[in-house]
Amino acid sequence: MGLELRQNLKLTQQLVMTPQLQQAIKLLQLSRFELLEAVQQELLENPMLEEGVKEISEEHDIQAPMESRPEVSHEDAELMRNADWENYLGDFSSTAKQVQFKETEALEEMMSYEARLSGKPSLDGHLLWQLCLSNITEEEEMIGEAIIGNLDSQGYLMSSAEDIASETLSPLALVESMLHRLQRFDPVGVAARSPKECLLIQLEMLGQDDPILVSLVADHLEDIEKRRYKPLLRKFKIQMEDLKAYLDIIQSLDPMPGASYGSESTIYVSPDVFVYEYEGDFVIVMNDDGLPKLQLSPYYMDDMHLAVKGPDREYLHDKMRSAMWLMKSLHQRQRTLYKVVESIVRFQRGFFEHGVTKLKPLILKDVADDIEMHESTVSRITTNKYVATPHGIMELKFFFNSALEMDDGTQVGSESVKAIIKKMVSEEDPKHPFSDEKIAAVLKETLDVNIARRTVAKYRAVLGIDSSSKRKQVF
């Protein structure tokens, strides 16, 4: 069989993701803060793009209504032009003067704004500060730094004493001695290897040496967690009131001493859309605060028209097309977001009027069919987007939830059922909490919702609610 070269014509269709289309898709799924950062970055990189500023001209000020401007005489106008404002303002003048001031005031004025901000103390920094103030040798300081470097966010030691000894090339006895010393630092119980050791150290520092209390922490933490109190009463031959006193002391201890020094910062949410109730209807307002108004730079537009040919003109043309596509993509993003929120308000009007208990089942396809867009577009535009409603700030994904069947053939949203379960648990008798079977039965009797026990257990786990055995309060 011979090999030969041939030329064939073939007509095909394929979807090509241009860089502009990729940028438009990326803008859809960006959160508000990420969008602001992306726009600012494009303003820095694209010379054809600039932020439009609304300026008030002098002609506009002259043509203002006379009733809104105070009358100024000719003498007053002449005085305003010739007045020595520097002498009048004195110390508040913007002109630099040689002023005698105290040394402390000078240091404060020369200090940058960044230097005046106080950072949140970290667990490592707090322990290292105490370590540096301790009367120890250089080798002990090196061991202490190694121990502090092996702590997790809760303050527990994630490495063994043998590993730290081999890491620092120090005797094991010296490592154990430094570990014992560090565990008595503030917060007490830090660098412990288990919750039991952490609580025992805190009892020691509090001077609690009751043998029953020490035995409860050392040997019966699991029994206390699972509320198996009767065996403890028989073993220690005490009354329920005595056991409650011991449990109150144990509950006052901190099993996670390093949690208060966590490095996690609070995440603040800025809503993309506001939904207000006005005269029986709901008004949708886009949050454009902080989003710059983009426009093409007139300066570089003139340069592009002057450059007849050459790489400069091609470069400016590319940047102009990129800037125009960005502005078009931003407009399309806001338009799509408005249409999606408008559709959600139509579907979930009961939520906006009465709250989460009236939330209906909703899927992406319902909104996509309503606004005549693809489901993937709706999924992207609802990612990391928040809406301020009369009942709080909600993520757009919150309004999409599964359905549960009712006896009359209608459906109820899963989020509504979760809210009802949460309310039932908050109002239950602590000594006789509702079991999952009881919750399912109550939902069946009061709301005609067909829900299984395992579904109740799943929703309860999602809400972070313990089982009835753990919620039960004996005392």
Q: Which CATH number does the domain housing residue 467 bear?
A: 1.10.10.60
Which are the contacts of 295, defined by CB distance < 8 A and separation ≥ 6? Answer: 49, 50, 51, 52
The span from the CA of 272 to the CA of 309, in Å, is: 44
pLDDT of res. 95: 45
34 domain residue, yes or no: no
129 domain residue, yes or no: yes
Residues 430/470, Cβ–Cβ less than 8 Å: no
Q: Are residues 225 and 170 in the same domain?
A: no
358 domain residue, yes or no: no
Residue of 261, 282, 264, 263 whose CA lies nearest to 273: 282
Of 168, 192, 216, the last residue of a domain is: 192
Residues 202/254, Cβ–Cβ less than 8 Å: yes
How many independent structural domains does the chain possess? Answer: 3
pTM: 0.62
Residue of 249, 93, 92, 259 whose CA lies nearest to 190: 259
Which are the contacts of 220, defined by CB distance < 8 A and separation ≥ 6? Answer: 232
pLDDT of res. 74: 57
280: left (phi over 0), alpha (psi -120 to 50) or beta: left
pLDDT of res. 131: 93
Q: Are residues 415 and 437 in the same domain?
A: yes
Our measurement of the distance from residue 271's CA atom to the centroid of its chain's CA atoms, rounded to an integer in Å, reads: 12
The span from the CA of 333 to the CA of 330, in Å, is: 5
384 domain residue, yes or no: no
Our measurement of the distance from residue 160's CA atom to the centroid of its chain's CA atoms, rounded to an integer in Å, reads: 34
Q: Are residues 135 and 169 in the same domain?
A: yes
Q: Are residues 419 and 440 in the same domain?
A: yes
237 domain residue, yes or no: yes
Q: Are residues 173 and 207 in the same domain?
A: no
Q: Both ends of the chain: CA-CA distance in Å?
A: 92
Q: Are residues 237 and 187 in the same domain?
A: no
Of 171, 192, 213, the last residue of a domain is: 192
333 domain residue, yes or no: no
Residues 396/344, Cβ–Cβ less than 8 Å: yes
The span from the CA of 451 to the CA of 457, in Å, is: 11
Q: Are residues 128 and 188 in the same domain?
A: yes
pLDDT in tens, the chain (475 residues): 567 888 888 888 876 666 767 777 888 888 888 888 888 888 888 888 888 765 544 444 434 443 444 454 555 555 455 555 445 444 444 444 444 444 444 444 544 555 455 566 789 999 999 999 999 999 999 999 999 999 998 999 999 999 999 999 999 999 999 999 999 999 999 999 999 999 999 999 999 999 999 999 999 999 988 888 899 999 999 999 999 999 999 999 999 998 888 655 666 778 999 999 988 899 999 988 878 888 888 887 776 666 656 777 788 888 888 888 888 888 888 999 999 999 999 999 999 998 888 888 898 999 999 999 989 889 989 988 999 999 889 999 999 887 777 766 677 778 888 888 988 998 888 888 999 899 988 888 887 888 888 988 988 988 888 888 888 877 6
Q: Are residues 219 and 237 in the same domain?
A: yes
- Structure tokens of 286? 């886009």
Residues 35/43, Cβ–Cβ less than 8 Å: no
Q: Are residues 185 and 206 in the same domain?
A: no
Q: What would you measure as the largest C-alpha separation in the chain, in angstroms?
A: 108
The span from the CA of 193 to the CA of 303, in Å, is: 69
Of 232, 256, 280, the last residue of a domain is: 256
408 domain residue, yes or no: yes
18 domain residue, yes or no: no
Q: Which domain holds residue 130?
A: 124-192
Q: Are residues 183 and 206 in the same domain?
A: no
Q: Are residues 198 and 188 in the same domain?
A: no
The DSSP annotation for 94-119 comes to SS-------HHHHHHHHS-HHHHPPP
Q: Are residues 152 and 178 in the same domain?
A: yes
pLDDT of res. 18: 67
Strand 294-296 relative to strand 386-389, pairing: unpaired
